[in-house]
C-alpha cells in the first residue's frame, strides 16, 4: 500500500550563486539542470500548491513539510517564496499544518530577507562545511572566490535572539579529511538549534572520496573513514551535548536501536515520503539519485497534468516504500537491517546491477551503528549497576 508524500521539496531556482567544487547538483552524472528554467514560474508555483493541497486532502494528512530548495532559493525574491507558501496553506484542508523551510548556502541572506521569510512563517536552514574558513575552502563562487565571509555573516544573523525562532539548523557534509571533534565544536560555536550530518553522495560505480567502488561482495574489511569520523563526533555529542543539541543522524540511530520508528532517509526501513518538484514543474525523486546516472530521478510526471498520487505508483518511488523487500539479499540477512536499512537509496547503486546492493557506506554504517549500540549498552549496564530503572 503506497504511503502518501509528506515532504515536498520545491525547486524555486535551478541555479546557484556558488560553484562548490564537490557539488553533486552541477558536477554529477545528470546535467538535467541545464534544461530547467532558471526560476519557477508563477504558474508552476500555483499548480504545485494546488497539488500539495489535493494530496493532503485525499490522504487526510495532519501535516506536510514544504522545503524551498534550489540551486540557491534566495536567488528568488522572498516575497515570491512567501506568496507560494501562503498558497499552499490556503490549499491544504483545515487542520493540516504546513511547516515551511528554506535551505540556503547563506551568502545572499540579509536581515531584510530574513524578516520577509519569517513574516511568512518560513524557517531557514544553513548548508556549510564547518564553522571555520578552512572547512569551507571548497565553497567558492563562480569566480573561485571564497564564500566563507557570507556564510559566517548568515550564521551570526540566524543565531541572534531576535531571529532564532526562524533558524532551523545547519547541514554539513562529512569530510573525513577534517578533524571530527574540531569540526563539530566549530559548528557549535555557530549556536545552531540542530545539526544534520550527511554523507557525500556516491555509489559503487562512482564511489565517494576515499572509498573504492566495484563489487560489494569483495569489499569486506575495507577501511571506514566516514564511520570513524562519525564515531568520534558521536562520542563528543553523547558525553557532553546529547540533551541540548539535536544531531539528527545520532538521534535517529539511537531511536532505531531502541526499536522506535525512524524518520530519515539515510537509516531504517520506513517508507520514504519525500518528492521533488523541479522548476519546470516536473515531479522527480530526490536529487541524490542524479549521482547515479542521467535521468535517474525522473518520473515523467509533472504538476500541471498529474496529481502526486500518480508518482506514488512510479517503480522507483514504490521501491523506496517497499522496506526490506526491496533490499539486496545481503541486507535482508544483515543483523543491522532494521537500523541501517541499507542506508541512503542513492548510495546503493551499481551500474548494471541497479539499486539492490548494500550501501557503498556499508562498512562505515556498521562501524557507526555498532558503536552507538555499545554506548547504549554502557548506559544500560551503568544503570543496572546503580539500581536505577533502565
Of residues 36 and 219, the one with the C-beta less far from ligand SF4: 219
Q: What is the largest CA-CA distance in the chain?
A: 64
How many Cα atoms occupy the beta-carbon half-sphere of 193 within 13 Å? 14
Of residues 139 and 348, the one with the C-beta less far from ligand SF4: 348
Tell me which residues touch ligand SF4 (CB under 6 A): 330-331, 334, 336-337, 340, 342-343, 358-359, 362, 365-366
Find cell 579529511 and name the residue: 177
Task: Provide the 3-class DSSP secondary structure of residue 146.
Answer: strand
Of residues 104 and 357, the one with the C-beta less far from ligand SF4: 357
CB 74 to ligand SF4: min, Å: 36
Of residues 14 and 203, the one with the C-beta less far from ligand SF4: 203
CA-based nearest residue to 108, from 11, 38, 194, 15:
15
Of residues 299 and 357, the one with the C-beta less far from ligand SF4: 357
CB 252 to ligand SF4: min, Å: 14
CB 362 to ligand SF4: min, Å: 3
CB 264 to ligand SF4: min, Å: 14
CB 242 to ligand SF4: min, Å: 23
CB 269 to ligand SF4: min, Å: 9
Question: What is the DSSP code (8-state) at residue 360?
Answer: T
CB 3 to ligand SF4: min, Å: 21
Of residues 247 and 340, the one with the C-beta less far from ligand SF4: 340
Question: What is the DSSP code (8-state) at residue 262?
Answer: P
Q: Give the E-state strand segments of the chain in sequence order.
A: 7-11, 63-69, 97-104, 122-128, 167-173, 194-198, 246-247, 274-277, 282-284, 298-302
CB 342 to ligand SF4: min, Å: 4
Of residues 74 and 369, the one with the C-beta less far from ligand SF4: 369
Torsion of CA 247, 252, 258, 261, to 10 degrees: 140
**352 grid coordinates:** 548494471
Of residues 22 and 370, the one with the C-beta less far from ligand SF4: 370
- Convert 294-318 into a string of H (helix), E (strand) and C (coil): CCCCEEEEECCCCCHHHHHCCHHHH
How does 7-32 read in b/e, with b if 16+ C-beta sit within 10 Å?
A: bbbbbbbbbbbbbbeeebbbebbbeb
Residue count (the chain) = 390
Amino acid at each position: 500500500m503506497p504511503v502518501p508524500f509528506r515532504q515536498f521539496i520545491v525547486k524555486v531556482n535551478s541555479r546557484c550563486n556558488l560553484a562548490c567544487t564537490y557539488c553533486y547538483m552541477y558536477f554529477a552524472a545528470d546535467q538535467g539542470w541545464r534544461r530547467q528554467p532558471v526560476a519557477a514560474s508563477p504558474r508552476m508555483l500555483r499548480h504545485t500548491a494546488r497539488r500539495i493541497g489535493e494530496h493532503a486532502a485525499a490522504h487526510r494528512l495532519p501535516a506536510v513539510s514544504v522545503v524551498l530548495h534550489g540551486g540557491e532559493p534566495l536567488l528568488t525574491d522572498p516575497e515570491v517564496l512567501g506568496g507560494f507558501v501562503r498558497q499552499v496553506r490556503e490549499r491544504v484542508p483545515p487542520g493540516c499544518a504546513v511547516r515551511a523551510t528554506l535551505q540556503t548556502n547563506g551568502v545572499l541572506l540579509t536581515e531584510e530577507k530574513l524578516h520577509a521569510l519569517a513574516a511568512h512563517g518560513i524557517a531557514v536552514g544553513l548548508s556549510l562545511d564547518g564553522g571555520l574558513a578552512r572547512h569551507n575552502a571548497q565553497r567558492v563562487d563562480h569566480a573561485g572566490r571564497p564564500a566563507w565571509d557570507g556564510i559566517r555573516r548568515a550564521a551570526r544573523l540566524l543565531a541572534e535572539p531576535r531571529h532564532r525562532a526562524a533558524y532551523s539548523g545547519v547541514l554539513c557534509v562529512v569530510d573525513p579529511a577534517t578533524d571530527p571533534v574540531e569540526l563539530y565544536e566549530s559548528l557549535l560555536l555557530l549556536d545552531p538549534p540542530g545539526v544534520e550530518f550527511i554523507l557525500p553522495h556516491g555509489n559503487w560505480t562512482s564511489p565517494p572520496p576515499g572509498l573504492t567502488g566495484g563489487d560489494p561482495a569483495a569489499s569486506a574489511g575495507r577501511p571506514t573513514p566516514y564511520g570513524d569520523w562519525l564515531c568520534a563526533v558521536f562520542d563528543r555529542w553523547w558525553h557532553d551535548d546529547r540533551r541540548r543539541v539535536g544531531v539528527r543522524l545520532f538521534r535517529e540511530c539511537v531511536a532505531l536501536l531502541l526499536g522506535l520508528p525512524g524518520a530519515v532517509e539515510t537509516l531504517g526501513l520506513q517508507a520514504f515520503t519525500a518528492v521533488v518538484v523541479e522548476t519546470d514543474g516536473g515531479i522527480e525523486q530526490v536529487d541524490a539519485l542524479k549521482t547515479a546516472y542521467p535521468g535517474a530521478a525522473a518520473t515523467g510526471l509533472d504538476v500541471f497534468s498529474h496529481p502526486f498520487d500518480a508518482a506514488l505508483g512510479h517503480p522507483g518511488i514504490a521501491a523506496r516504500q517497499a522496506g526490506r523487500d526491496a533490499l539486496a539479499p545481503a541486507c535482508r540477512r544483515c543483523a543491522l537491517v532494521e537500523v541501517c536499512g541499507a542506508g541512503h537509496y542513492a548510495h546503493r547503486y551499481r551500474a548494471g546491477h541497479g539499486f539492490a546492493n548494500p550501501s557503498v557506506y556499508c562498512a562505515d554504517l556498521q562501524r557507526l551503528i555498532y558503536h552507538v549500540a555499545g554506548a547504549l549498552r554502557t548506559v544500560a549496564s551503568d544503570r543496572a549497576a546503580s539500581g536505577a530503572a533502565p
